[in-house]
Amino acid sequence: MAERLRGGSSRAVRPAVDGHRILLVLVALLALGVAVGAVALWPDGPSLVSNRNADPTKVVGATLTKVTTVPCRREEQALKNATCADVEARRADNGQVVRLPASDLTGDTFRAGQRVRLAVLEQPGQPPFYSIQDIARGRPMLLLAALFVGAVVAFGRWQGVRSLVGLALSFVVIVGFIVPSILAGHSPLSVGLVGAMAIMIVSLYLSHGTGRKTTAAVVGTALALGLTALLSAVFVSAATLTGIASDDAQSANFELGGISLRGLLLAGIVIGGLGVLDDVTTSQASLVFELHRANPAARTADLVRGALAVGRDHVAATVNTLFLAYAGASLPLLVLFVTLNEPLGTVVTTEVVAVEVVRTLCGSVGLIAAVPLTTLLAAMLVREEEPAAAAGRAPEAAGVQPWPAAVAEPEDTAGEAAEPPAPPWHAGRSAWTLASGLGRDEIGLAWSRALEQFGPALSHATVGVVGSGWLTNLDELPAAIQQAAAELERLADAEPAATTWYRRRPGPDDTAHLDLRQPRHLELVRAYGPYSLDTAVYAQGDPDPVLQTGVDGTGGLPRVTLRLDEQEAERLAVALDQAGLRSPLVPTRTQTRARRRHR
């Protein structure tokens, strides 16, 4: 019988484990494809940069020593707020002080002591020509970066450190592979897709570990990212977007030539979409696992339904975030269109706006698809988390004493089956009861909250299903409880080996033996347990019930007894208080030492 039980347990666990293995195989194939793509697209050929003519201009650092406002020339007064100045600057490379004119477009940009970058054009036979190319912003940006790193590490701790390493690796992939490979003449879309997949796999596993939750997020992100790339390719082509609407694209085309601007647009959509997708998929996978931990008895359909309810809110907020991000980046352009008094239809269909519309909508469709995909994958994997852990250890290690195979019951001198010696009582718990005066629904609510407090520590239970006095009138109970009672009665009538895995001694046929690692069995105990006068719930490693009912209740209702340690009692009291039950726990004077055996 023990072999049959162990075999049955293995058969129950294997499909869940295989589900995770299947997804790991998919991730391995994806990683292999990324590696092959990276080798094929590696930037080892001539770069488009080599086609450029040598620029004689060089850039040097300098510090402004003097700024003198002067009248602007006629052509410099076109900008309303612009001011003109003669500035002196000391070069950082040789200490030379140079003088040059400058146009301050905002009116308050340049001041003495400011660090700038000077563009220097030196030609034979002519004096050097200086102009201010840009402001040196290294110090404030380094300060901001240090503040960001400190906040991430302070809040995320070790996981925050791993996420920062993932961020650094993402930067390395972009500047070390994606940009050089595009400059080498490879297809920007192919390069962007390979690079995005590499970033996704490395950063997610590095930041969140290699567990089932992360695997679900990785596969969900990959599927949604592939859909985003496909939609982008179709609609960029259908809308005849050339990719040359922006000044940056035109400058790249002028400076380099030979680069596919449409492909560059598609690669930007894919990489930008990844930044939103990995956030959504990770959140959805985490949500499913947390819902399962909060209620291990919840069915897969309930987990999916609850996670999707939150996912809809997340999608709605994120889609709006995408639109606002792109609108904010294009705000100067939108202001320009408004000043031109163009019709809305004309504005939306111009390429520079249509690019952002296609980018937003394709990314949003991929985002919407990512939520149900990741939720279903996570719900499939979450069921194997506890059974897989239990399958990897012997029953003794889980705190359960199995009934040895091929070993007869010990007999006493009278030839009757002797009761096995009582295991040592689990210290640290004291007995509590529910306060008198609670109604049927309040008892059921308190029972459910108590089960949630024990969570994965629960091991098995016995439930009396007939001849229980108050419960003989099942017609007075809600339909869900009546259904649970009928199912428990069928389990009690079934062969014991089909429902039990723990040590038991023969008992009457009116008792159902339940494995609380099985979600359906746990749900049956949750639904019917408090309404039976003979229910006992056990935790791993504890020979006595941690939760049981008895016949000495008041008002015809069962008496519920709990054995809790101090932390469990405190957590349960808070949970019951939040559920609207005020002070329902009453300590007893003596610790409960029930001598019920595992039936």
Query: Mean per-residue pLDDT for 177-186?
Result: 86
| The overall pTM is greater than 0.75 | no
Helix axes 188-208 and 212-238, enclosed angle (nearest 10): 160
Q: What is the pLDDT of residue 34?
A: 92
CA distance 371 to 378: 11
Residues 433-462: pLDDT tens digits?
Answer: 887 777 778 888 888 888 888 888 888 888
Domain that holds residue 68: 57-139
Pair (16, 76) in one structural domain: no
Query: Mean per-residue pLDDT for 113-128?
Result: 83
Ramachandran region, residue 284 (left: φ > 0; alpha: ψ -120 to 50; beta: rest): alpha
- Is the Cα torsion angle 571, 531, 387, 506 positive or negative in sign? positive
Pair (135, 153) in one structural domain: no
Pair (219, 347) in one structural domain: yes
Average pLDDT of the chain to the nearest whole number: 75
* Count of beta carbons in the 10 Å neighbourhood of residue 589: 6
Pair (157, 107) in one structural domain: no
Does residue 389 lie in a domain region? no
Residue of 479 and 446 predicted with greater confidence: 446
Distances (CA, A) of 511 to 115, 417, 552, 567: 84, 20, 19, 32
Residues 233-286: pLDDT tens digits?
Answer: 999 888 888 777 666 666 666 666 667 778 888 888 888 888 888 888 998 998
Taking the CA atoms of residue 496, residue 500, residue 505 and residue 511 in that order, the dihedral angle to the nearest 10 degrees is: -70
Does residue 464 lie in a domain region? yes
Q: What are phi and psi of 494, to 5 degrees?
A: -75, 170
Least confident of 122-126, 221-225, 400-404, 410-414: 400-404
CATH number for 72: 2.40.50
Does residue 132 lie in a domain region? yes
Helix, strand, or coil (residue 98): strand
Task: Please say whether the beta carbons of 355 and 232 come within 8 A.
Answer: no
Does residue 412 lie in a domain region? no
Q: What is the pLDDT of residue 208?
A: 85
Q: Binning pLDDT at 50, 70 and 90, where does residue 146 land?
A: very high
Give the H/E segment covering residue 179: helix 179-183
Q: What is the pLDDT of residue 133?
A: 83
Tokens 């054995």 correspond to 563
Domain total for the chain?
3
Q: What is the secondary structure of 530-586 as a DSSP string?
A: GGSSSEEEEETT-SS-SEEEES--STTPPEEEEEE-HHHHHHHHHHHHHTT--S-EE
Model confidence at 396: pLDDT above 60 = no
Does residue 52 lie in a domain region? no
Does residue 403 lie in a domain region? no
Residues 322-357: pLDDT tens digits?
Answer: 677 766 766 766 676 666 666 666 666 777 778 888
Q: Choose among 291, 277, 140: nearest CA to 219.
A: 277
Residues 500-547: pLDDT tens digits?
Answer: 333 333 344 577 888 888 888 888 888 888 888 788 999 887 888 888
